[in-house]
Amino acid sequence: MVVWRSVVILLRFSSKCVLQHLRVNDLLEGVPYFFKVFAENQYGSGEVYEMPDPVIATAEPAPPKRLDITDTTDSSATLTWLKPEHDGGSRITGYIVETKIKGSDKWVIGGHAKSLTMVVDGLTENAEYEFRVKAKNDAGISDAREAFSSVIIKEPCIEPTADLSGITNQLITCKTGGTFTIDVPISGRPTPNVIWKLEEMRLKKTDRVSIKTVKNRTTLSVKDCMRGDGGKYYLTLENIAGTKTFTITVNVIGSFVSKTAVASDPIGMSSLDLN
């Protein structure tokens, strides 16, 4: 059985100090030390004062490893980095991110972070920036780690797409009088416009039809289903990078039809845009 225990090294310094402070050099990093002090004059030595708790000798940490620029918008950049090789004998208390426009000599603080990632806001669109990050502990601040390359601040253009993996065979079956929902994760930069169609007819919101779209998801829900609600539903995503259309087939089975739905919307035409 191995038992670990802390080892405290006691040092004696023979040099005399006439001030109320003394710098002690050549201590081992990360090792706890006790210190004691006493006054001395021509008549002798005074009472010894010993620190009740040890002090751990620390140094500035090593610089963070590998600074990457993982994303940009028209006014921000997202940075990530790795922890330093060593912390200097004292835990890392945070990171300082600095930025400058390429060609400038002036670095400015872009922000402070506790974790290994940060979003730097307030940047100028289409300007080219350089970034660097420093680690800090109780002993001081590390040297800087710069990103491998500069980056132009702009919204990236990424063709839109949809993830239909949650819809088996892109087929949904619903009983008449019931409700079906088509919930699709979407992506693209800039955020794509969303168009839902049933066959060739563009859908819009009604009492029976709900269309909800957020940044990374679109959901179409139809309640009080009728046979006429079945067919091919087309989801079209558009942005400046391109246009893509995806197909989901809905089968409505059974003969029961809600009287309320029939009276108000016999074939679902109120949810269609014929223009």
Q: How many CB atoms lie within 10 A of CB 209?
A: 20
Query: What stretches of 79-176 show up as alpha helix (H) in DSSP?
Result: none
139 three-class SS: coil
Return the pLDDT at 56.
67
Domain with CATH 2.60.40.10 in the chain: 65-152, 158-273
β-pair type (32-34, 9-10): parallel
89-130: pLDDT as tens digits: 788 999 999 999 999 999 999 999 999 999 999 999 999 999
What is the 3-class SS of 172-227, one letter each residue?
A: EEEECCCCEEEEEEEEEECCCEEEEEECCEEECCCCCEEEEEECCEEEEEECCCCH
36-95: pLDDT as tens digits: 787 888 888 888 888 787 766 667 889 999 999 999 999 999 999 999 998 887 889 999
Question: Which residues, including other chains, have CB under 8 Å from residue 100's CB and lie 6 or more apart?
Answer: 106, 107, 108, 129, 130
At the topology level, CATH places domain 158-273 in: Immunoglobulin-like (2.60.40)
Return the pLDDT at 97.
98
Question: Rounded mean pLDDT of 214-221?
Answer: 95
Contact 247, 215 (CB under 8 A): no
Return the pLDDT at 264.
46
Question: Which residues, including other chains, have CB under 8 Å from residue 167's CB and lie 6 or more apart?
Answer: 182, 184, 248
Residue 31 has pLDDT above 60, yes or no: yes
Question: Rounded mean pLDDT of 9-14?
Answer: 49
pTM to 2 decimal places:
0.59
Q: Which amino acid is at 162?
A: A
Instruction: Compute the Cα dihedral for 126, 130, 136, 141 and give only its sign.
Output: negative
Q: How many residues does the chain have?
A: 275
149-173: pLDDT as tens digits: 999 999 999 999 999 999 999 999 9
Domain 65-152 is found in CATH 3.40.50.300 = no
Q: List C-alpha distances in Å: 256 to 27, 174, 179, 211, 268.
A: 86, 12, 13, 25, 15
How much of the chain exceeds pLDDT 70, in percent?
Answer: 82
Return the pLDDT at 2.
41
Instruction: Pull the structure tokens for residue 240.
Output: 């400046």
Nearest by Cα to 251 from 228, 221, 218, 224: 228
